[in-house]
Chain A
Amino acid sequence: MINFGGYMGKLLRVNLTTRNVKEENLNEEWIKQYLGGRGIASKILIDELEPGIDPLGPKNKLIFITGPLTGTVIPTTSKIGISTKSPLTNHIGCGFGGGYFGPQLKFSGYDGIIIEGKAEKPVYIWINEGKAEIKEAAHLWGKDTQETEDLIKKELKDKNVEIVCIGQAGENKVRFAAAIHGKHFIIGRRGIGAVMGSKNLKAVAVRGTKSVSVAINTEKIWKLYDEILKIMNKNPVVAGFKLHGTAASVALVNELGFMPTKNFQEGVFDGMDKVDEQAYFNLSIKPFSCWGCPVYCRRILEMKDGSYAGTITARPEHQTTFALGSCVGLSDTGAVLKANLLCDEYGLDTISTGVVIAFSMECYQRGLIKESDTGGLSLKWGDGEVINQLIKMIAFREGFGDILAEGSKRAAAKIGKGSEKYAMQVKGLEIPGYDPRGAKGIGLNYATATRGADHNDGWTIAEELYNDKVDRLTLEGKGKLTKEIQDKAKTIDSAIFCMFALDFGYTPEFISKSLTAITGIRITPEKIFEIGERISNLERIFALREGFSGKDDILPERFIKEELPFGSSKGEKVDLKRLLGDYYKVRDWDKNGYPTKEKLKRLKLGEYIKYIDKWMNDN
């Protein structure tokens, strides 16, 4: 029995090689140090994975993880986290997706699942009321994520079962294949789907009827719930999200001149109005929601006319309108919607998919590749049919798609001819939809985030776009801003809250109050940041152990040498050296980007100092 509220107190360990299944108690010391979610998953990975293993080999592990708030009435806490060593970055490869799976996993009696080894043949894991079973999945192999979801629900004869699965992209080990839950909730980036595919794991299905117990009495839960609902109902960001979801700032980012266009060559996309928030709002059938969330920021859309008439799918997120819209120069409402649907069906991350296609289009523009390399395809900017053809070729690793399926970094290494400088990636992860020249904090975050160029690892955009006191173009103070937001994000991912919770009216004080109330552990607002900082440093150590260092905290040279050519951010470049100096200082890291021993001791990470020592000796 666990002594804290909010946790089920148990992890399930499933070994696919031996088909052995066992329960383990959740370590209470880990809870105090790492809270849950991302923190605990990173802790398990650093302690259980040997450095240098192949992410697509049987020694890699997959951690499905929830947090103490998952399955409680506290709003925006439905997310499921999945963590692994990423086949795209070789860093910690965690990702988070909304929907219903996280709460259902708790109701089945577990805080998380550790999946090891590799099944001989395709399988799926079925967890029913705390009992786990490894089931054959040969009949599901080759099916897309929507068919797979429907077939498993039918087979298990249960409407309440929740499923995370992969499509063909994951089966084919596309390095940026996603895991998909409930057809449109994407645990998207860094190739979690490929790791599932490498283990012959088609899906995980879960169902349970247990309660999540909390430390406070019912009356106090109602009080807490009413308090946060009152705050959220008055919050303007919540109102904006109800209409447009994450796409709410697409037109604004374009207006401010840092919407990445044609592989980041430009920052203003002339055709944005066909693929911005209003264009998609007009196609709405209905909103849909994550579990327990009063914001319901997602929508199902239907294309009624044109050559993509009949396409029904979820509204493209900000990142999708960028990656499969402006970044590939595509200004066709229906074609982007179709591309979004294909990515969901095959199980692909839309950001990496779009950015790697944009990379190939710039190579074509510059004559580095020709029709003879692409199987006859002319990779012209904005050709919707070609883009959708490439998505399929990537998912099935057909012809030229096989090269792109490796991600921008590896694809550029294969193509050569100086194409490396058009691969818009950091540490192997494709850059998301804010040009760092137009918001310097996000650039610093791309360069330093423990997961590669990830916007959610330190979403400075909220401050740089909407806080009057923060100038998006200045370098001043961005070290501190980025560091603090990165640390907050780690705690958010460990609780687990939606990454927009802080924008929806949650304050550090209220987060601390909720966590204390639910768990019964006194977690002050200061403690929240300390936990986040501990996780940031732990994940940094994971990267150092894999052989990375401050030398890898870089941005593509385009951002450093080339000015944005026109628009509201015209003339901007990134002085990364200055930003990094500032950042390392705020972090208490040395000039090589290594945490100092004193820092690690203060963060109670003393047991990992040995890796720093090893590096010092090796170099």
Chain B
Amino acid sequence: MTFKIISVDEKKCVSCKICEIVCSLEKEGVLNPARSRMRVYSLYPRVDVPVVCRQCNDSPCKNACEYDAISRNEKNNSITIDSINCTGCGLCIEACPFQAMFLHPETNKAVTCDLCEGDPTCVKYCPTKAITYVPWEESLEAKRGSEKRLYQDLNLFVD
């Protein structure tokens, strides 16, 4: 199956975090990056990394969920969270190798990127084109092979 992904070129990111704020406005109608479906991490001084769902084939988040709240959207390959079934237990958040699952600060349910029905708002407003929405075969991610290695190289989630 062919699908598109929000491809991340961390070398172009300037950490303006416009993606976070337009995401909260699009998905929730509020100005509040804490409710966004993505995060930008600044790894001073050389790189800033937008972190958003990588659409893993083996979907560790889905496998970790014990409440049948996570499924795959067949139309665009995004991860869908059923907010009724979700208990906010946090297992998916722990399981995500990219920390791209978030706990909503008000509802306490898991949220993640749903690709805005195939027209991601963050991509539209990114001023440097650090994030683009492209077919998987053409993405930087496909060329790199393992995304995990990129994150390891950047030392992103190792404290």
Counting CB contacts under 8 A, is B11 at the interface? yes
Q: Which of A103, A107, A211, A286 lies in contact with B47, CB distance below 8 A? A: A286
Contact between chains at A212 and B14 (CB < 8 Å): no
Q: Which of B29, B35, B45, B106 lies in contact with A300, CB distance below 8 A? A: B45
Number of interface residues of B (CB under 8 A): 29
Contact between chains at A159 and B41 (CB < 8 Å): yes
A72-B31, A211-B32, A221-B25 in contact; A183/B44 too (CB < 8 A)?
Answer: yes
Contact between chains at A73 and B32 (CB < 8 Å): no
Interface residues as binary, A281-310 with B (CB distance below 8 Å gives 1, 0 otherwise): 000011111111110100010000000000
- Looking at the assembled complex, report how far the CB atom of A227 sits from the nearest CB atom of chain B, in whole angstroms: 14
Q: How far is the CA of A218 from the CA of B32 in the complex (A)?
A: 13
Counting CB contacts under 8 A, is A245 at the interface? no
Contact between chains at A107 and B16 (CB < 8 Å): no
Q: Which of A211, A212, A287, A291 lies in contact with B17, CB distance below 8 A? A: A291
Contact between chains at A107 and B22 (CB < 8 Å): no
Q: Which of B17, B21, B29 lies in contact with A218, CB distance below 8 A? A: B29
Instruction: Give every chain B residue within 8 A of A213 (Cβ-Cβ).
Output: 30-31
Q: How far is the CA of A160 from the CA of B51 in the complex (A)?
A: 14
Q: How far is the CA of A100 from the CA of B32 in the complex (A)?
A: 13
A212-B32, A296-B128 in contact; A285/B17 too (CB < 8 A)?
Answer: no
A73-B21, A208-B34, A211-B32 in contact; A294/B16 too (CB < 8 A)?
Answer: yes
Contact between chains at B32 and A210 (CB < 8 Å): yes
Q: How far is the CA of A268 from the CA of B17 in the complex (A)?
A: 40
Counting CB contacts under 8 A, is B150 at the interface? no
- Looking at the assembled complex, report how far the CB atom of A185 sits from the nearest CB atom of chain B, in whole angstroms: 12
Interface residues as binary, B20-63 with A (CB distance below 8 Å gives 1, 0 otherwise): 01101100011111110001010011111000000000000000
Contact between chains at B45 and A211 (CB < 8 Å): no
Contact between chains at B32 and A209 (CB < 8 Å): yes
A296-B128, A300-B46 in contact; A291/B16 too (CB < 8 A)?
Answer: yes
Contact between chains at B35 and A211 (CB < 8 Å): yes
Q: How far is the CA of A287 from the CA of B24 in the complex (A)?
A: 25
Q: How far is the CA of A73 from the CA of B20 in the complex (A)?
A: 10
Q: How far is the CA of A300 from the CA of B42 in the complex (A)?
A: 13
Which of B14, B21, B41 neighbours the largest number of chain A CB atoms within 10 Å of its CB?
Answer: B14
- Looking at the assembled complex, report how far the CB atom of A356 sits from the nearest CB atom of chain B, in whole angstroms: 29
Interface residues as binary, A201-242 with B (CB distance below 8 Å gives 1, 0 otherwise): 000000011111110001001100000010000000000000
Instruction: Give every chain A residue within 8 A of B33 (Cβ-Cβ).
Output: 103, 107
Counting CB contacts under 8 A, is B139 at the interface? no
Q: Which of A72, A218, A296 lies in contact with B127, CB distance below 8 A? A: A296
Instruction: Give every chain B residue within 8 A of A296 (Cβ-Cβ).
Output: 14, 16, 127-128
Contact between chains at B105 and A212 (CB < 8 Å): no
Counting CB contacts under 8 A, is B87 at the interface? no
Residue of B nearest to A312 (CB): B45
Q: How far is the CA of A183 from the CA of B48 in the complex (A)?
A: 15
Residue of A nearest to B34 (CB): A209
Residue of B nearest to A287 (CB): B14
- Looking at the assembled complex, report how far the CB atom of B98 sits from the nearest CB atom of chain A, in whole angstroms: 14
Contact between chains at B32 and A288 (CB < 8 Å): no
Q: How far is the CA of A367 from the CA of B21 in the complex (A)?
A: 58
Chain A, interface size category, equals: 20 to 34
Instruction: Give every chain A residue within 8 A of B11 (Cβ-Cβ).
Output: 286
Instruction: Give every chain B residue within 8 A of A218 (Cβ-Cβ).
Output: 25, 29
Counting CB contacts under 8 A, is A71 at the interface? yes
Contact between chains at A289 and B32 (CB < 8 Å): no
- Looking at the assembled complex, report how far the CB atom of A184 sits from the nearest CB atom of chain B, in whole angstroms: 9
Instruction: Give every chain B residue within 8 A of A209 (Cβ-Cβ).
Output: 32, 34-35, 105-106
A73-B22, A296-B127 in contact; A286/B31 too (CB < 8 A)?
Answer: no
Instruction: Give every chain A residue within 8 A of B35 (Cβ-Cβ).
Output: 209, 211
Contact between chains at B17 and A71 (CB < 8 Å): no
Counting CB contacts under 8 A, is B18 at the interface? yes
- Looking at the assembled complex, report how far the CB atom of B37 sits from the nearest CB atom of chain A, in whole angstroms: 14
Q: How far is the CA of A287 from the CA of B45 in the complex (A)?
A: 10
A159-B41, A222-B25 in contact; A294/B127 too (CB < 8 A)?
Answer: yes
Q: How far is the CA of A347 from the CA of B63 in the complex (A)?
A: 49
Contact between chains at B17 and A292 (CB < 8 Å): yes
Contact between chains at A294 and B18 (CB < 8 Å): yes
Counting CB contacts under 8 A, is B80 at the interface? no
Q: How far is the CA of A312 from the CA of B14 in the complex (A)?
A: 17
Interface residues as binary, A99-117 with B (CB distance below 8 Å gives 1, 0 otherwise): 0100100010000000000
Counting CB contacts under 8 A, is B76 at the interface? no
Instruction: Give every chain A residue within 8 A of B17 (Cβ-Cβ).
Output: 100, 291-292
Contact between chains at A288 and B15 (CB < 8 Å): yes
Instruction: Give every chain A residue within 8 A of B105 (Cβ-Cβ).
Output: 209
Contact between chains at A289 and B21 (CB < 8 Å): no
List 8 A–B pairs whose Cβ atoms lie within 8 Å, in order of A's numbering: A159-B41, A208-B34, A210-B32, A211-B31, A214-B31, A286-B11, A292-B17, A294-B16
The 4 closest A-B pairs by CB, nearest first: A209-B34, A209-B105, A211-B32, A289-B16
Residues in chain B within 8 A of chain A (CB atoms):
11, 14-18, 21-22, 24-25, 29-35, 39, 41, 44-48, 105-106, 125, 127-128
